[in-house]
Amino acid sequence: MHDAAQGVVNFIDLNTASVIFLFLVGFIGGLVSGFIGSGGAFVLTPGMMSLGVPGAVAVASNMCHKFPKAMVGAYKRFKYGQVDIKLGLILAASAGVGVQIGIKLQQYILKQWGAAGSDLYVSLSFVAVLVIVGGFVFRDAVNISKAGGVEKAPAIAVMLQKINLPPMMYFKTANIRISLWFTIPVGLATGMLAATIAVGGFIGVPGMIYVIGASGLVSSATELVIAFVMGFAGSVNWAMHGMVDIRLTLIILGGSLLGVQLGAIGTTYVKEHMIKVVMATIMLIVAVSRAFAIPKYLNQLNLTNVDASTVSILEKVSFLTMCGALAIGALIILSSMWKASRAASMASTMDESYVEG
Rule CB under 8 A: is residue 51 a binding residue for another protein? no
Residue 38 in contact with another protein, rule: CB under 8 A: no
| Contact status, residue 231 vs residue 67, Cβ threshold 8 Å | yes
312 scored as a contact of another protein (CB under 8 A): no
Question: CB of residue 76 vs another protein: minimum separation in angstroms?
Answer: 7
**31/34 Cα distance (integer angstroms):** 5
Phi-psi region of 149 (alpha: psi -120 to 50; beta: other; left: phi over 0): left
Q: Verify binding: residue 118, another protein, rule CB under 8 A.
A: no
- ∠ Cα 117 186 34 (to 5°): 90
Beta carbon of residue 319, minimum distance to another protein (angstroms, whole number): 26
Q: Is 20 in the site for another protein (CB under 8 A)?
A: no
Q: Is 26 in the site for another protein (CB under 8 A)?
A: no
* Contact between residue 179 and residue 160 where contact means Cβ atoms under 8 Å apart: yes
3-state secondary structure of 16: helix
Least Cβ distance, residue 198 to another protein (angstroms): 18
| Residue closer to another protein, measured from CB, 63 or 186 | 63
Closer residue to another protein (CB): 76 or 276: 76
- Please report whether residue 247 would count as binding another protein according to CB under 8 A: yes
Alpha helices in the chain, H assignment, sequence order: 2-8, 16-36, 41-50, 55-79, 85-146, 155-162, 180-197, 201-207, 216-240, 246-266, 273-300, 308-356
End-to-end CA distance of the chain, in Å?
72
Which segment (182-190, 192-200, 248-256, 296-304) binds another protein by CB under 8 A? 248-256
DSSP 32: H
Residues at the site binding another protein, with contacts judged by CB under 8 A: 1-3, 5-6, 9, 11, 64-65, 67-69, 71-72, 75-76, 79-80, 148-149, 235-236, 239-247, 249-250, 253-254, 257-258, 261-262, 265, 268-269, 272, 340-341, 344-345, 347-348, 350-357
